[in-house]
Amino acid sequence: MSQTTMTGMRSATISPSPAWHISLRRILGRDWAPAYVFVFPTVLLMGLLIAYPLLRAVYMSFTNTNSLQMGPFVGLRNYENVLADPNFRAAVWITVRYTFWSVLLKFAFGLLIAILLHRYKRFGGVLTAAILLPWIVPSVVAAIAWKGLLDPVYGGVNQFLLQMGFVEKGFPWLGSPNTALASLVMINIWGGIPFFTINLLAGLKAIDREYYEAAIVDGASAWRCFLHITLPGLRYVIIVATLLSTIWTFNTFDMVFLLTGGGPVNATRVFSILAFEAFGAARYGVAVAIAISMAPILLIFIFALGRHISASSRNESRSVEEEETLTSRVLAVITWPVRALLKAVVAVFFLINDAVERVLEVVGGVLHRIFVGQSTTNQRLARRIGRIFSGGLAGFILLLFILFELIPFYWILITAFKSTRQIVAFESVFWPSPWTVEQFEALFGPTRRFALWYQNTVVVSLVSTAISVVVAAMGGYGLTRLRWRGSNIFGSSVLIAYLMPPIMMFIPMYQIFTALKLTNSLTGLMVAYPVFGLPFVTWLMMGYYASIPKEMEEAALIDGCNHFQAFWRVILPLVLPALMAASMFAITLAWKEFIFAYIFLSRDRLYTLTIGMAQMIVGDVLPWGELSAAALLMSIPVAVLYMVGQRFMVAGLTAGAVKG
């Protein structure tokens, strides 16, 4: 290269920026130009697929819309009718009860399992994989498993109780108003325990062991270590995981719809089912009004969640309680009654706990003097017996939880390899005799299109995953690594978009897709699935990007790279594990998606697996063998994917969004 050329390049490099460019940087932020390029695909997709349908839904709630065309404006009449409707109030109360008990018990059991898994480090990987399985399988697979177990005639639970002589006839667990909601809570706990376990286990590993050692030296018991070290150390993880689980549980639709449909006698009709019923009756304005009426409750949880996540992602030196922003002050006022109640409950708990501990110390001291005495040998023997007993009890409890998590999959496995005669005649209830592939032959026979449904699911999942991951990788970088005005607001909107109820989004999207002739097409699903995949994956990538030191990128910029080169050559290689985790989550979300496919598809040849399997159920006739075989085949790819990439998935759950 000539000296003249090099001089020209050097002068071009150091030439001052135009005045207009300096002004724009002052107004829009230092990195506004590259940031807009990175974020544009995310803005475009979220604007077309989320923001516009959401605004359309809000407007629709003020109209009397009963067709694919927007109806006349009626003001607040839909909301007045909804709030005055006793069915709506009953649905809200059912939703609150379902959410409260589900989240409370998921947290309690998840914490217990996390502590036990943390103790058994040798088999931690295998046990974690076993615990994780219920969380990753599609909802239709879980529904088939639990319908099979709880069926009053063919169900494994009733067959076990009958053979043990505990009952004289099968009990309709999902068909009785007295037990249906409790059964759904139990199933939600089964599917939600893994989320709490994985995150709390990661939090436990982050707590410094020196704290426990110092406390033990000072004479603290295991219980006091738990109260004063473990719980405070897990505080952030508990808050974020609980808020996320609360929002997910409150928005539940798939499992309730597949298991009970809101029955029996409306005993399980949560608000999402009520909105879906209004949609089925072509009362679109009322359906959206029902969904939006729950938005204020959800927004409180979402803002609280965003407050904790944003504080962590910025690595602020101040604690979350020390932040004094307008949003935090408003949120503090709104949530004051709940926080005051929680503080009162905690205060009462510690008063009772201290009193009980004093009594137990006195009783324990007396028993120790009676049975152990002052003998060193007896004391060592007592400690050894205590360790053996506590270890055995912990192992037994962990085994019970693992069996609880795996029994539905065992039931699917044995049912898939039974003949129809064995199932109907109750022969070899808990073990196929003989094993047969009859159900798989029927599944791939001329009367089913299972292979085509499988192909449709694979194609749609791969394409929608590619869209979500590529766009999210760029958008997450622009939101996290570049400085521009509005990035914080848009980053918060990503979280809100991810946590909005799907029941509120699919109604306007159904109208839009019908007008665009995208219903009854796989292309429509490929476009629709990023509605829930893109915000989640973007949020996940933001957490990863925030954990990378700024100095690495700044060094690349000093060496002459622009932001695009720094992204491609420096940042992207560092986040390859993040891309793996994001891809795993995105393809899992697409693989198990139900509601959009259920609404958008009506042609048998276009069904995905979730819809095809749901359509195999005709009224009260359930081909248990074929359904179990289909559920097994649908679960295998997801299970293999997570077995291979478990460490990426665990990192994905604990990075950025759920980290301490």
Q: Check residue 329 and give its pLDDT.
A: 63
* Rounded-to-integer distance, Cα 547 and Cα 313, Å: 8
Per the CB < 8 A criterion, the answer to whether 40 and 478 are in contact is no
In a domain, 240, yes or no: yes
Report how far residue 108's alpha carbon sits from residue 245's, in angstroms, rounded to the nearest whole number.
Answer: 13
Three-state SS at 545:
helix
pLDDT at 375: 64
> Which token pair is 506?
């699919």
564 belongs to a structural domain: yes
Residue 314 lies in a domain: no
* Residue position matching structure tokens 């040798």: 122
Of 536, 569, 585, which marks where a domain is finished? 585
* CA-wise closest residue to 135 among 185, 195, 202, 196: 195
The whole-angstrom distance between residue 640's C-alpha and the CA centroid of its chain comes to 20
Helix axes 336-371, 326-334, angle to 10 degrees: 70
Both 137 and 170 in one domain: the answer is yes
Q: How many CB atoms lie within 10 A of CB 210?
A: 8
Kindly state the tokens that stand for 26. Answer: 């002052």
| One domain for residues 426 and 460 | no
Q: Give yes or no for a contact between 569 and 563, defined as CB atoms under 8 angstroms apart.
A: no
Question: Domain check: are 415 and 510 in the same one?
Answer: no
pLDDT at 182: 94
What is the pLDDT, as a whole number, of residue 97?
95
Run of H or E including 80:
helix 77-84
**How many CB atoms lie under 10 A from the CB of residue 584?**
22
CATH code (residue 550): 1.10.3720.10
Q: 3-state SS string over 113-179?
A: HHHHHHHCCCCHHHHHHHHHHHHHCCHHHHHHHHHHHHCCCCCHHHHHHHHHCCCCCCCCCCCCCCC
Verify that 221 and 146 share a domain, yes or no: yes
- Do 195 and 108 lie in a common domain? yes
Q: Is residue 123 part of a domain?
A: yes
Query: Which residues have a Cβ under 8 Å from the Cβ of 158 and sit 6 or more positions away?
Result: 150, 151, 152, 167, 170, 171
Q: Are 244 and 135 in contact (CB under 8 A)?
A: no
Whether the Cβ atoms of residue 272 and residue 251 lie closer than 8 Å to each other: yes
Distance in angstroms (rounded) separating the CA atoms of residues 548 and 361:
49
Same domain for 127 and 228, yes or no, is: yes
Evaluate whether residue 3 is within a structural domain: no
Asked whether residue 463 falls in the same domain as residue 485, the answer is: yes
Give a yes or no: residue 72 inside a domain.
Answer: no
Same domain membership, residue 625 and residue 572: no
User: Per-10-residue mean pLDDT for the chain, 660 residues long?
Assistant: 43 51 68 85 86 88 88 92 93 94 94 85 65 82 89 84 82 90 95 88 83 81 82 84 87 90 91 91 90 82 66 43 50 65 75 76 69 65 73 84 90 90 82 89 86 93 92 88 79 73 81 86 88 80 80 80 83 83 86 88 89 80 86 86 69 48
Q: Is residue 191 one of the residues assigned to a domain?
A: yes
pTM equals: 0.84
Q: What is the DSSP letter of 230?
A: I
Residues 443 and 474 in one domain: no
| Residues 420 and 438: beta-carbon distance below 8 Å | yes
- Is the residue at 594 inside a domain? no
Which domain-ending residue is among 567, 585, 603?
A: 585
Alpha-carbon gap, residue 433 to 427, rounded angstroms:
8
Partners of 621 in the β-ladder: 618
Specify whether 238 is located in the same domain as 123: yes
CA 376 from chain centre, in angstroms, equals: 52
Residues spanned by the domain of 405: 92-273+325-334+372-430+439-448+616-660
Q: Which residues contact 611 (CB under 8 A, 6 or more apart)?
A: 453, 594, 597, 598, 601
What tokens does 66 get?
Answer: 């009963």
102 and 212, same domain (yes or no)? yes
In one-letter notation, the amino acid at residue 119 is R
Total domains present in the chain: 2
Give yes or no for a contact between 656 and 542, defined as CB atoms under 8 angstroms apart.
yes
- Name the 3-class secondary structure at 73: strand
DSSP-assigned letter for residue 621: B
Q: DSSP letters of 19-68? A: HHHHHHHHHH-TTHHHHHHHHHHHHHHHIIIIIHHHHHHHHHTTB---SS
Q: Which of helix, strand or coil describes residue 516? A: coil
- Other beta carbons less than 10 A from residue 136's beta carbon: 20
499/569 same-domain check = yes
